[in-house]
Chain A
Amino acid sequence: DAMVIQNPRYQVTQFGKPVTLSCSQTLNHNVMYWYQQKSSQAPKLLFHYYDKDFNNEADTPDNFQSRRPNTSFCFLDIRSPGLGDAAMYLCATSRTGGENTEAFFGQGTRLTVV
């Protein structure tokens, strides 16, 4: 059974029209991450949460926002998508601490901006 679920798998949005991507987990992990991955590139960390503590990467554009209303859910909001924001968006969750460390990903949401 899927443990990290991203919805939708494919999202088409118009240039400048706000869009929200969602992620949920059944693992009860404290940490949740959002990554942007463009074609043939490594995933780039946008931000992550430890519980409700939000950690933004210095080079993440202001256009990208996130919410984590509870342990299970996390949202990525793109306020005004540009053509350059078309990418795969990956959500991950993790638990760190010695041999119990684990980190799993959702299937990703492929965003197209038209």
Chain B
Amino acid sequence: AQKITQTQPGMFVQEKEAVTLDCTYDTSDQSYGLFWYKQPSSGEMIFLIYQGSYDEQNATEGRYSLNFQKARKSTNLVISASQLGDSAMYFCAVVSYNTDKLIFGTGTRLQVFP
């Protein structure tokens, strides 16, 4: 079964600083996609950024950028210029293009302090 690990259960960052959240995954699929989601305390799952396994250029969306290390089966999310509103759970997720299954990592709780 596919396993997705986020080794940082909790992270702290000061406002306006950058923070990097890590994720490693175990997949035998050749074609897949990587997502990062933010989940605030309200429970809603908010899409942040996506990258496909064949994309050669790392994705960016505003303050979010995704670093993709295909050979190592790892990705990380960089949030630049952190804001207090960034405090939330962050999940990486992998979708298989073969089965369409979308599986989540264990999550990292990010806290931004003033």
Contacts and interface: CB of A to CB of B under 8 A. Distances in A.
B107 A92 contact: no
B46 to A, nearest CB: 8
B47 A104 contact: yes
Interface residues of A: mostly helix, strand, loop or mixed? strand
A28 interface: no
A101 B102 contact: no
Given A42-B105, A43-B91, A97-B97, A92 B45 contact: yes
Contact of A103 (B43, B47, B97, B105): B47
Interface of B: 33, 35, 37, 42-47, 50, 52, 54-55, 91, 93, 95, 97, 99-107
Interface of A: 30-31, 33, 35, 37, 41-45, 48, 50, 55, 88, 90, 92, 94, 96-99, 101-105, 107-108, 110
12 contacts: A33-B102, A42-B105, A90-B45, A92-B102, A96-B100, A98-B54, A101-B52, A101-B97, A105-B47, A107-B44, A108-B45, A110-B43
